[in-house]
Chains A and B, each alone.
Chain A
Amino acid sequence: MNRIELTRNPLIKGALKNRYPQLALFVAMLVGYLFAILAGLISTPVGNQNFSIVFVWIAWWAILILVAVPFFGRGWCAVCPIPLPGEWLQRGATLDPPHRKPGWANLRWPKFLRNIWLQNISFLLLALFSTLVLTSPKLTSVILAAMLFVALGLSMLFERRSFCRYLCPVGGFVGIYSQTAPIELRVKDKRVCATCEGKPCYNGSASGYGCPWDVFPPGLSKNTECGLCLECLRTCPHDNIAVNLRPFSADLARPSARLDEAFKAFIMLGSAMIYAGILLGPWGAVKDAAYHVGTGTWYLYAGAFLAVIFVILPVPFAFCAFGSGNRHPFKKRFSTLSTALIPLGLSFWAAFSLSFVLSNGAYVLASVSDPLGLGWNVFGTANIAWFPVLTSLLAPAQTLALVGGLVWSAHTARNAAGEVHVSPIPAILYCLAATLVMLWLLL
């Protein structure tokens, strides 16, 4: 048996269907989020001592990329506070649907933007300014606040969670990487859906709201777009929705042929390698160029960054998709094959983040005792001097992650290549080459 239905257990099902546990988590996250915004604005401007930087770019990032995404897919989206104020306003309620729905515009998201290109762009923008963002508490706060306000504004204009689905820079990569996770939400039996009247999973009912992610649950075959908000679990009158435990990367067995997702894979792969070089390498001139936004050297750096992502990485990969007499269009071959880069990208980010987090994790201790930089010492750890955490384990862990990701990618490549009738060998060699470069950058 390769899928275990978790919602068969009445305790689990009850906890997931009940709005209170979810709301409690939501409010806790929102409080933390708002506190982080405040701390970034009024606490110390020293990045590594500021609660906002430490808890967003070190603690939250570590949990996201090392735990939430690989093991829970879009699990972070399930508890993320960003859409909440807008959504409560949009819905006119914080719990069950109200009798009278508020009359917001609820426009349909424009068709030509129904893809992840906007998310690719928003992530790239963040990535280009990342050295500045990662070290500047005020800028971090501004970005956090901006996301909150944009999500709110979009909820007033458009239906459902348009920010989350089409704009959020985090959602872009969490979505495609969630295909690797061992958790999924799916309908149990599509035949039941065929005879269902009203389709409340998509349109809402008195027990819950229609899918905020604009997903039609019977059509849900991959984790990419499902944000695990569990509304469909509440609205389905036929108890036909299940949350399952399943083998890792089951979704990659049916590779996607979308170009926007293909480029997202390159964006993530490229940025992991670039960050490993800039942030963890000994090349001061590049760090300077990346940090001093607006200077001539920064434009050079930005150009190089974009060149890696849009030229240096995809062009050799395009050669992997060659095949004479192949009946599949080139675009389909390229995009399908690029699915192999998803496990690779995830392992690259995990390996990079391990180094980043273990070297800087000690700051969490100091920050938790004095979150506002006012001289508090709540847990007695405020004046702890920096120390590296578990760095002796770092190299083996990174090797494991990278080699494991390589094997996983090779496996995915074989599968994807089979779908479009090309040889997987060039793609596997490409993954090997990328892995060797990443090993050299990190170890």
Chain B
Amino acid sequence: MKRRELVTRVLIAVAVVFAVGTPLYFWLRTPLIHAKIAENGGWSPDVLLARPGEPLHLRLTSDDVVHSFAVGKTDMQSVDVLPGKVTDVTLTFDKPGTYTFYCTRWCGLNHWRMRGTIQVGDPASTVAAGAAPTAGKVDVPLYVTLGLDIDSPHDSPLVPGVRPSAADGEELAADSSVSKFIDPDFYRTHSPYQAWRELRNTSSYSGLSDQQIWNLVAFIWRSNTTAEELASGRKRFAQNCAACHGENGAGHGVFADQLTAAGQASMKTMAGAKDMRRQTPANFADAKRMLGASPALLQGKILRGGMGTGMPSWGPIFTQDQSWDLVAFLYSFPFLYQE
């Protein structure tokens, strides 16, 4: 064959190998963490290994819709993970242990299930390497310490006729007998109804009507938190809860219907399962439900989730402070905190 032909063939072969080999080479050498909606697998990989004190460089990309990345139980600002684009995140963990990372922008009904773990420690001693799992130290939630049953109904025996107003309560709070209620130990362990009962039984308030006592309770509840905490809780609610519970907390968020359907569908074969009222997200403006619940009870529901419903468990995600802020904000639905 002529030399020109040979040279041309070689050049073509080189070009073809280049066209096919270059993408393959770079693709194999670039490990990425892919984010997909939970229904399609969530994070992949979803277990990451790191060493204490060593920076962990992560490259994240989304394979479908907008996601976002953050590490649970920290104050880390979440980082958007956009479809088709690569985001770089560097994390450094000082203490060994298992950390949860999660998606922070709603990406579908099962968004909250999009979680993974980062195991920080000596590589040989991680569970992934075959070591026996050791129980880490966990903060024991208050509801466990108190032995509260967070699954049974907690309706308040009595409800106010009108939404209790903290401002009106403030006017009524004259003496120091309310100051003993403005204390985390009392506030967290008592439901508003229990506070109302105590106030009702206090002689100095015997002249007040039931509604006025409720106003006092509203004031007490508001005094147990600050404006900053309420703002933080409001933001946390908007980002995590509103999609199911509704932006007005009434229980009809954008996913509410799907949740109800999912709950009912899975129960179709059970007799008597038609009345699955608890499958709809809770209505936080419902005084009967909210005023019978102590902050510890609400925190427990948030942290543990379940209760036979689609309520997620936020335990690995929220720090203690973040969960108390959220609980404080939830009471702003049954109570009127601002005029």
* Shortest beta-carbon distance from B251 to chain A in Å: 27
Cβ-neighbour of A38 out of B2, B23, B84 (below 8 A): B23
Cβ-neighbour of A375 out of B4, B15, B61, B62 (below 8 A): B61
Q: Which of B120-142 contact A (CB under 8 A)?
A: none
Query: Which B residues are CB-close (under 8 A) to A375?
Result: 30, 32, 59, 61, 85-86, 88
Residue from B18, B27, B32, B59 with most neighbouring chain A CB atoms (10 Å): B27
Query: Which A residues are CB-close (under 8 A) to B1?
Result: 93, 98
Per-residue CB contact flags for chain A residues 15-27 toward chain B (1 = under 8 Å, else 0) read 0000000010001
Contact A44 B83 (CB under 8 A): yes
Contact A50 B27 (CB under 8 A): no
How distant is the Cα of A46 from the Cα of B81 in the complex, in angstroms?
13
| Chain A binding surface SS class | loop
The number of inter-chain residue pairs (CB within 8 angstroms) is: 86
Count residues of A near B (Cβ-Cβ below 8 Å). 32
Query: Which A residues are CB-close (under 8 A) to B15?
Result: 27, 30-31
How distant is the Cα of A43 from the Cα of B63 in the complex, in angstroms?
10
Q: Is A374 an interface residue (CB 8 A)?
A: yes
Query: Which B residues are CB-close (under 8 A) to A371?
Result: 23
Q: Is B24 an interface residue (CB 8 A)?
A: yes
How distant is the Cα of A44 from the Cα of B36 in the complex, in angstroms?
11
Query: Which A residues are CB-close (under 8 A) to B83?
Result: 44, 46, 49
Q: Contacts A94-B9, A373-B61: A44 and B84 contacting too (C-beta < 8 A)?
A: yes
How distant is the Cα of A96 from the Cα of B84 in the complex, in angstroms?
44
Contact A30 B19 (CB under 8 A): yes
Size class of B's contact patch?
A: 20 to 34
Per-residue CB contact flags for chain B residues 9-34 toward chain A (1 = under 8 Å, else 0) read 10110011011101110110010100
Q: Is A382 an interface residue (CB 8 A)?
A: yes
Contact A95 B8 (CB under 8 A): yes
A49 closest partner in B (C-beta): B84
Q: Is B5 an interface residue (CB 8 A)?
A: yes
Residue from B4, B24, B61 with most neighbouring chain A CB atoms (10 Å): B61
Per-residue CB contact flags for chain B residues 73-86 toward chain A (1 = under 8 Å, else 0) read 00000000001111
Q: Which of B170-198 contact A (CB under 8 A)?
A: none
* Shortest beta-carbon distance from A138 to chain B in Å: 12
How distant is the Cα of A418 from the Cα of B32 in the complex, in angstroms?
65
Cβ-neighbour of A94 out of B5, B61, B63 (below 8 A): B5
How distant is the Cα of A134 from the Cα of B19 in the complex, in angstroms?
23
Contact A372 B26 (CB under 8 A): yes
Contact A46 B23 (CB under 8 A): no
* Shortest beta-carbon distance from A139 to chain B in Å: 15
How distant is the Cα of A46 from the Cα of B16 in the complex, in angstroms?
26
Cβ-neighbour of B24 out of A27, A42, A370 (below 8 A): A42
Contact A383 B85 (CB under 8 A): yes
Contact B63 A93 (CB under 8 A): no
Contact A374 B26 (CB under 8 A): yes
Contact A31 B5 (CB under 8 A): no
How distant is the Cα of A44 from the Cα of B84 in the complex, in angstroms?
5
B36 closest partner in A (C-beta): A45
Q: Is B64 an interface residue (CB 8 A)?
A: yes
Query: Which A residues are CB-close (under 8 A) to B59?
Result: 375
* Shortest beta-carbon distance from B187 to chain A in Å: 46
How distant is the Cα of A82 from the Cα of B15 in the complex, in angstroms?
15
Per-residue CB contact flags for chain B residues 53-68 toward chain A (1 = under 8 Å, else 0) read 0000001011110000
Q: Is A39 an interface residue (CB 8 A)?
A: yes
Q: Is A132 an interface residue (CB 8 A)?
A: no
Contact A23 B8 (CB under 8 A): yes
Residue from B2, B8, B9, B15 with most neighbouring chain A CB atoms (10 Å): B8
How distant is the Cα of A401 from the Cα of B239 in the complex, in angstroms?
48
Per-residue CB contact flags for chain A residues 31-48 toward chain B (1 = under 8 Å, else 0) read 110110011001111101
Query: Which B residues are CB-close (under 8 A) to A93?
Result: 1, 5
Residue from A30, A35, A372, A374 with most neighbouring chain B CB atoms (10 Å): A374
Contact A374 B16 (CB under 8 A): no
* Shortest beta-carbon distance from B92 to chain A in Å: 21
List 30 contacting pairs A-B, 8 Å CB cutoff, sorted by A.
A23-B8, A27-B11, A27-B12, A30-B12, A30-B15, A31-B16, A31-B19, A35-B23, A38-B20, A38-B24, A39-B23, A42-B23, A43-B27, A44-B61, A44-B84, A48-B84, A94-B9, A95-B5, A96-B2, A96-B5, A98-B5, A366-B84, A370-B85, A371-B23, A372-B23, A372-B27, A373-B61, A375-B85, A375-B86, A375-B88
Q: Which 4 A-B pairs have the closest CB atoms?
A: A49-B84, A375-B86, A46-B84, A34-B19
Given contacts A32-B19, A38-B24, A375-B61, 4 further A-B contacts (CB under 8 A): A31-B16, A95-B2, A372-B26, A374-B27
